[in-house]
Amino acid sequence: MLKPFLYPKNFVLSFLLAIICLLAGEAKAQNELEYVGELGISIGGAQYFGDLNTRGALNTIKPAVGVYYRKYLNEYVGVRAHARFMQLGYSDAYNKNEFERRRNLSFNTDVFELALQGDFNFFKFEPGTLDHRFSPYLSGGASIFHFNPYAYMDGVKYYLQPMRTEGQGSALYPDRKPYSLVSYAFLIGGGFKYNISKKVNVGLEALYRFTQTDYLDDVSTTYAGPGAFPTLSNGQPSVAYRLQDRSYVTGEPIGVTGRQRGNSRDKDQYLTIELTISILFTSYNCKF
């Protein structure tokens, strides 16, 4: 005699119950919560390296702020668009090298940057979990940025690119063209991120840029000499002439024609170190 469970009526009911449970489980899986991206801000500092800061000193860190969106491709890889505003600057007054100190050049600039980056997590990163809420990561990509170097003389602010301080555009130097105020850079760096709740990530990130301009600081090659800077109608030197060689402040002028003013073999660079905080976005996606 068949056991009660194997009676046809009970078997059909059991089969229908199993189908219902399976469909309920599938519906739950299809509606599984998934993190798809994050919108955040970054706050920190930026440091310039180049013809005025040849020894890689971290002594003129200036403000940097940004906003970004990171799209999660999986638990290890994300892509990011990051817009930043920062300030950069340096002065020969910080240098210990005798020539650089006597050169007495300086600059500041505002930088507006838009970067596209790829981020790779070293550990599996799953916000909202206890086991996978922290990871160091590597980041790399490229950026386009706008800059406009300026300096102060006698308390007056002068933008340096229109001054053509190295004879750009002069008939004496047909190979020296005025430089563009828009350039691009390759960036590489990394950081650490930590998920503090189901909705918030925090992190620390450092990114180094290899720019494709040598005029971030308005210094690149040799002194153009007085012939490239005609005197004013009253016989006095022009503002451009006084800005291109400011060594007269520290002693006898050193800016003779053809003498090294900067190093054109190396492009300028800069670094950002930032704290980040972001809000996470989720969706319900099918897993089957």
How far is residue 169's CA from residue 163's CA, in Å, rounded to a whole number? 10
Does the structure show a pLDDT above 80 at 108?
A: yes
8 A C-beta contact, residue 17 and residue 24: no
**Does residue 157 form part of some domain?**
yes
Give the total number of structural domains in the chain: 1
113: CATH:
2.40.160.20
8 A C-beta contact, residue 271 and residue 209: yes
3-state DSSP assignment of residue 63:
strand
Q: What are the pLDDT digits (tens) for 231-280? A: 998 889 999 999 999 999 999 999 999 999 999 999 999 999 999 999 99
How far is residue 169's CA from residue 230's CA, in Å, rounded to a whole number? 14
pLDDT band at residue 28 under the 50/70/90 scheme: very low
Characterize 243-282 residue by residue with b for buried, 16 or more Cβ atoms within 10 angstroms of its Cβ, and e for exposed.
Answer: bbbbbeeeeeebbeeeeebbeeeebbbbbbbbebebebbe
pLDDT score at 17: 54
pLDDT score at 23: 46
**Does residue 15 form part of some domain?**
no
**Does residue 168 form part of some domain?**
yes
pTM: 0.85
pLDDT band at residue 14 under the 50/70/90 scheme: low
pLDDT score at 33: 62
103 CB burial (10 A radius; 0-12, 13-18, 19+): buried
pLDDT score at 282: 83
Does the structure show a pLDDT above 50 at 209?
A: yes
**Does residue 109 form part of some domain?**
yes
Q: Minimum mean pLDDT among 17-31, 180-194, 222-236: which range?
A: 17-31
**Does residue 114 form part of some domain?**
yes
**Does residue 13 form part of some domain?**
no
- Percent of the chain exceeding pLDDT 70 equals 87
Range of the domain at 43: 37-285
**Does residue 16 form part of some domain?**
no
How far is residue 73's CA from residue 60's CA, in Å, rounded to a whole number? 37
**Does residue 3 form part of some domain?**
no
